[in-house]
């Protein structure tokens, strides 16, 4: 009887190794050789499952995005039914900011993907759809006539806070103070 290969399990094994290596060395510096060594498989097998570097980067971003969505969902569920828009926004953004070790590791990978994509425009459309969707969602929660622009600003503020948290320019306390200050300003119009 031929040995049956569990492709899903093998892919998961390699993917987990990839994320560990990326968290340690930086996503951009990850090579098939590093991932193979970490997973205990051959370089050829990593190549078989991931094809090329673009696919590795896109895969890692998907993992990071899914973890972010899971964190947001869990945080929003803890708020209970119909939370006020300001609290909902604050909760979502805080869940996405790199405020602890796990979210910092994810944030570093997202940043590496952004830097990688900035010189490879063919990968950018996926980012654009995500951002547009997020701006639309935030705009629906903000008061005022020009909620679209305000939402685009709040999302950019979140992105910048993420960058400065990862670089150590802002502490978690400072970043949350900036977020609250901005939410005060955005919701002052309606109050």
Is 127 an interacting residue with respect to its own copies (CB under 8 A)?
A: yes
Burial class (CB in 10 A: 0-12, 13-18, 19+), 129: exposed
**Residue-by-residue DSSP string for 122-140:** GGHHHHHHHHHHHHHHHHT
Helical residues (DSSP H) of 4-52, grouped into ranges: 7-25, 32-39, 43-50
Percentages of the chain per state (helix, strand, coil), in multiples of 5: 80, 0, 20
Which listed range, 35-43, 65-73, 79-87, 160-168, lies at the site for its own copies (CB under 8 A)?
Answer: 160-168
Closest to its own copies by CB, 63 vs 127, is 127
User: Which of 25, 55, 66, 190 forms a contact with its own copies (CB under 8 A)?
Assistant: 25
CB of 14 to its own copies, least distance (A): 21
Identify the burial level of 50 via C-beta atoms within 10 angstroms of its C-beta, where 0-12 means exposed, 13-18 middle and 19 or more buried.
buried
Q: In angstroms, give the least distance from the CB of 137 to its own copies.
A: 14
Residues 87-126: x where in contact with its own copies by CB under 8 A, - otherwise, as a string: --------------------xx--xx-xxxxxxxx--x--
Q: Which parts of this chain interact with its own copies (CB under 8 A)?
A: 24-29, 107-108, 111-112, 114-121, 124, 127-128, 131-132, 146, 149-150, 152-153, 155-161, 163-164, 166-170, 174-175, 177-178, 181-182, 185-186
């Amino acid at each position: 009887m031929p040995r049956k290969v569990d492709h899903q399990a093998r892919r998961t094994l390699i993917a987990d190794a990839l994320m560990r290596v990326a968290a340690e060395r930086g996503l951009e510096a990850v090579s098939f050789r590093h991932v193979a060594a970490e997973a205990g498989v051959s370089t050829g097998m990593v190549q078989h499952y991931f094809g090329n570097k673009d696919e590795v980067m896109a895969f890692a971003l998907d993992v990071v995005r899914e973890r972010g969505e899971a964190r947001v969902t869990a945080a929003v569920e803890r708020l209970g039914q119909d939370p006020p828009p300001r609290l909902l926004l604050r909760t979502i953004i805080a869940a996405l900011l790199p405020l602890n070790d796990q979210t910092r590791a994810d944030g570093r990978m997202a940043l590496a993907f952004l830097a990688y994509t900035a010189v490879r425009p063919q990968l950018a459309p996926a980012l654009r759809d995500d951002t547009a969707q997020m701006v639309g969602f935030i705009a629906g929660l903000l008061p005022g006539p020009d909620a679209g622009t305000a939402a685009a600003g709040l999302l950019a503020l979140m992105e910048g806070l993420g960058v400065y948290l990862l670089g150590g320019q802002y502490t978690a306390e400072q970043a949350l103070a900036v977020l609250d200050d901005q939410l005060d300003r955005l919701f002052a119009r309606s109050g």
